[in-house]
């Protein structure tokens, strides 16, 4: 049968016990190896600070006059889509044609700002990066840095999308307390030394560290007020004190907040004062995760400060890791784009050689055995090191998610939900995450089967269906499951598009992102990829720690099988991808009657019954 599963049981979808235990044992070995290495290390890996890796081909957030906004409901958004060029090993009518992805909305305005708490979830003792030991502060100023970046990113958005004078940043009457040296030293709260600063800089810090919001950034559209998704303030209970040097009294006449560029200088001054460029970089990636907290349903929590003596050492080359003003709009788009950050985080758990019906066996050791004790112990640094070793390109995001308190929620979601992958992320950030990633579009594996005749691997069929749908009318988004379907399909039973292009050797190359306009041409944002980066990307086609040789070993069948719920979800999500466009092939009906898939057949039967009843009543 074309749906044949390569197992020795009569179950059409479940793997055999031996297959399950083999994947389970392999997973345990893989994650145990990563865990052992992560426990030995004492600092965070260099990959956590390589934020430039997030910008391989990432587009930029456009200015207001370039792209129209969509003002609907409770959010202000932009709309865009990606385009992909079809490559071929032999010429055909699809060669060099463009495939357009479905339109996606990028929310740039939300109805409310975010308020955060100070917590001891993330370790107060900042570890620093292994390659930045000469510019590690030892204290912990991450909360101050994250709140500073929140302002900078919000201000930059206002500058990019300002339409009228009503789009602005203002100071409120809320301020953190500040004092000169040891004069009138407050007894409660956290004290943050900011050095010898002028009145403008001190006033900015008083707003940034104020409880209940010392500043506001707003857009006004059609009588509605929107806030940048990065706008994050301390809650009203937070108590921060600012210690400055110099004049015992500062001018009270400062009313105009700084631009994003000026604020970034203030933040860099603070990093230079404490020789804390490493925390400046870490806090930046933490700030990038703030918009995702709404999507994940996770509150923002920042680490408790741990002050120390001022460091008078000169700033070192660590400052070169800090994002430039020109790069900010590209990072901002990265954080806005739906599914980008979640798919990159979850991509660390995926492996190209694990099929959908054993996804649960692959995920069980890491999600149920390895991570829960680490989370309970709040040992997030070990988790960060593990994920950085697994997929270095997403390492900064894991660090950022840990700093803002999103990491535990991320893992909780993955334990019960299979998130959709994002094809753009695989190109923009070099984060492989699905069997549908562009790098896996290649020559199809077609063979002659003694029983079935000429057959094609089902996962290759899926990729070709996706590629040939140029306008994304039927197969616009990849399957919900990143794990490939198993088995083969008779070539003469596949869709016409598959039969026509099975021997063309088609692939997908990313072209550009386009911002949609109404009544005028769309804006093309094309970021060129350097020849060196293209070479490195090809060289790094698989960057996973996955011991393929272990698959051939005879693993002992010791433990009971884990919960198969995730395998069921992964299998259902990937097989349903072809159900709505193509229905069910006649000889595959037994497979679709399996308990993992029959829910959709039941739903379709109910819909048909309702349709017949409605017709009779009419």
Output the DSSP codes for 225-274. EEB-TT-EEE-TT--EEEEEES-SS--S---SPPPHHHHHHHHHHHHHHT
Report residue 423 as tokens: 């094809």
pTM: 0.89
pLDDT at residue 42 above 80?
yes
Query: pLDDT grade, residue 134 (50/70/90)?
Result: low
| pLDDT confidence of residue 254 | 76
3-state secondary structure 323-348: CCCCCHHHHHHHHHCCCHHHHHHHHH
pLDDT at residue 560 above 90?
no
Q: Alpha helix locations (H) across 512-597?
A: 531-539, 565-575, 579-582, 589-592
If asked whether residues 355 and 287 sit together in one domain, one would say no
- Residue 105's CB is within 10 A of a number of other CB atoms, namely 16
Measured CA to CA, the distance from residue 87 to residue 443 in angstroms comes to 11
In a domain, residue 331? The reply is: yes
If asked whether residues 396 and 495 sit together in one domain, one would say yes
In a domain, residue 56? The reply is: no
pLDDT at residue 565 above 60?
yes
Domain count, the chain: 2
Report residue 508 as tokens: 């997908």
| pLDDT confidence of residue 313 | 52
Average pLDDT over residues 40-64: 91
Domain boundary among the residues 318, 336, 354 is at 336
If asked whether residues 276 and 174 sit together in one domain, one would say yes
| pLDDT confidence of residue 618 | 43
Query: pLDDT grade, residue 187 (50/70/90)?
Result: low
- Of 157, 156, 257, which Cα lies nearest the Cα of 202? 257
Q: Is 491 helix (H, G, I), strand (E, B) or coil?
A: helix
Domain boundary among the residues 336, 367, 384 is at 336
Measured CA to CA, the distance from residue 573 to residue 418 in angstroms comes to 8
Report residue 45 as tokens: 């890996």
If asked whether residues 178 and 229 sit together in one domain, one would say yes
Is residue 59 within 8 Å of 333, Cβ to Cβ? Answer: yes
Report residue 425 as tokens: 């992320």
Report residue 512 as tokens: 């550009």
Measured CA to CA, the distance from residue 321 to residue 282 in angstroms comes to 10
If asked whether residues 277 and 423 sit together in one domain, one would say no
> For the segment 453-470, what is each residue's pLDDT rounded down to a tens digit?
899 999 999 999 999 999
- Of 468, 474, 403, which Cα lies nearest the Cα of 102? 474
- Residue 111's CB is within 10 A of a number of other CB atoms, namely 12
If asked whether residues 33 and 133 sit together in one domain, one would say no
If asked whether residues 419 and 279 sit together in one domain, one would say no
Give the best-scoring range by mean pLDDT among 29-38, 421-430, 497-506.
29-38
pLDDT at residue 260 above 50?
yes
Measured CA to CA, the distance from residue 230 to residue 236 in angstroms comes to 18
In a domain, residue 302? The reply is: yes
In a domain, residue 48? The reply is: no
Lowest mean pLDDT among 62-71, 350-359, 406-415: 406-415
If asked whether residues 100 and 117 sit together in one domain, one would say no
**Mean of per-residue pLDDT scores for the chain:** 85
pLDDT at residue 59 above 60?
yes
407-414 helix and 395-403 helix, angle to the nearest 10 degrees:
110
| pLDDT confidence of residue 294 | 80
If asked whether residues 376 and 516 sit together in one domain, one would say yes
pLDDT at residue 538 above 50?
no
In a domain, residue 605? The reply is: no
In a domain, residue 60? The reply is: no
Domain boundary among the residues 285, 303, 336 is at 336
Which residue matches tokens 């810090």?
205
In a domain, residue 46? The reply is: no
If asked whether residues 236 and 219 sit together in one domain, one would say yes
> For the segment 201-210, what is each residue's pLDDT rounded down to a tens digit?
999 999 999 9
- Residue 331's CB is within 10 A of a number of other CB atoms, namely 22
> For the segment 333-374, what is each residue's pLDDT rounded down to a tens digit?
999 888 888 889 999 999 999 999 999 999 999 999 999 999
147: domain range?
112-336
If asked whether residues 125 and 219 sit together in one domain, one would say yes
If asked whether residues 298 and 368 sit together in one domain, one would say no
In a domain, residue 55? The reply is: no
Gyration radius (Cα) of the chain, Å: 27
pLDDT at residue 542 above 50?
no
Measured CA to CA, the distance from residue 488 to residue 4 in angstroms comes to 7
């Amino acid at each position: 049968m074309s749906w044949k599963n390569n197992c020795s049981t009569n179950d059409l979808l479940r793997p055999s016990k031996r297959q399950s235990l083999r994947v389970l044992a392999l997973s345990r070995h893989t994650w145990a190896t990563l865990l052992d290495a992560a426990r030995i290390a004492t600092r965070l890996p260099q990959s956590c600070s390589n934020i430039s890796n997030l910008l391989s081909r990432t587009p930029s957030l456009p200015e207001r006059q370039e792209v129209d906004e969509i003002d609907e409901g409770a959010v202000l958004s932009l709309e865009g889509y990606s385009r992909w060029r079809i490559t071929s090993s032999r010429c055909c009518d699809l060669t060099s044609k463009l495939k357009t992805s479905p339109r996606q909305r990028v929310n740039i305005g939300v109805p409310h700002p975010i308020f955060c708490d100070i917590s001891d979830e993330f370790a107060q003792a900042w570890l620093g990066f292994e390659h930045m030991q000469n510019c590690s502060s030892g204290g912990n100023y991450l909360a101050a840095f994250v709140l500073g970046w929140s302002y900078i990113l919000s201000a930059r958005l206002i500058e990019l999308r300002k339409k009228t004078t009503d789009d602005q940043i203002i100071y409120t009457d809320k301020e953190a307390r500040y004092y000169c040296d040891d004069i009138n030293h407050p007894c409660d709260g956290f004290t943050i030394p900011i050095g010898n600063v002028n009145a403008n800089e001190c006033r900015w810090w008083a707003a940034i560290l104020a409880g209940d919001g010392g500043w506001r950034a707003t857009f006004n559209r059609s009588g509605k007020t929107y806030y940048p998704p990065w706008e994050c303030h301390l809650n009203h209970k937070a108590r921060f004190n600012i210690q400055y040097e110099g004049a015992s009294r500062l001018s009270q006449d400062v009313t105009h907040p700084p631009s994003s560029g000026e604020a970034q200088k203030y933040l860099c001054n603070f990093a230079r004062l404490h020789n804390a460029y490493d925390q400046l970089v870490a806090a930046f990636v933490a700030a990038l995760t703030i918009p995702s907290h709404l999507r994940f349903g996770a509150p923002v929590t920042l680490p408790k400060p741990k002050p120390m003596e001022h460091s008078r050492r000169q700033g070192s080359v660590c400052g070169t890791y800090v994002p430039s003003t020109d790069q900010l709009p590209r990072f901002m788009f990265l954080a806005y784009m739906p599914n980008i950050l979640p798919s990159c985080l979850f991509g660390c758990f995926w492996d190209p050689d694990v099929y959908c019906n054993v996804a649960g066996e692959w995920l069980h050791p890491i999600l149920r055995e390895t991570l829960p004790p680490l989370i309970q112990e709040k040992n997030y640094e070990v988790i960060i090191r593990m994920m950085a070793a697994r997929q270095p390109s997403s390492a900064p995001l894991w660090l950022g998610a840990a700093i803002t308190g999103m990491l535990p929620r991320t893992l909780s979601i993955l334990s019960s939900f299979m998130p959709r992958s994002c094809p753009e992320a695989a190109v923009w950030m070099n984060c492989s995450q699905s069997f549908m990633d562009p790098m896996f579009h290649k020559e199809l594996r077609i063979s002659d089967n003694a029983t079935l005749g000429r057959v094609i691997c089902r996962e290759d069929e899926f990729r070709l269906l996706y590629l040939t749908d140029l306008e994304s009318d039927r197969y616009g988004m990849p399957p919900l499951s990143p794990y490939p379907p198993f088995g083969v399909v008779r070539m003469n039973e596949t869709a016409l598009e598959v039969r026509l292009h099975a021997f063309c050797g088609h692939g997908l190359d990313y072209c550009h992102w386009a911002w949609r306009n109404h009544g005028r041409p769309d804006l093309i944002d094309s970021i060129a990829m350097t020849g060196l980066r293209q070479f490195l990307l090809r060289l790094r086609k698989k960057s996973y720690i996955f011991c393929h040789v272990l698959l051939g070993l005879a693993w002992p069948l010791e433990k009971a099988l884990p919960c198969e719920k995730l395998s069921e979800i992964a299998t259902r999500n990937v097989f349903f991808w072809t159900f709505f466009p193509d229905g069910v092939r006649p000889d595959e009906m037994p497979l679709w009657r399996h308990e993992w898939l029959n829910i959709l057949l039941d739903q379709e039967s109910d819909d048909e019954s309702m349709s017949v009843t409605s017709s009779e009543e009419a």
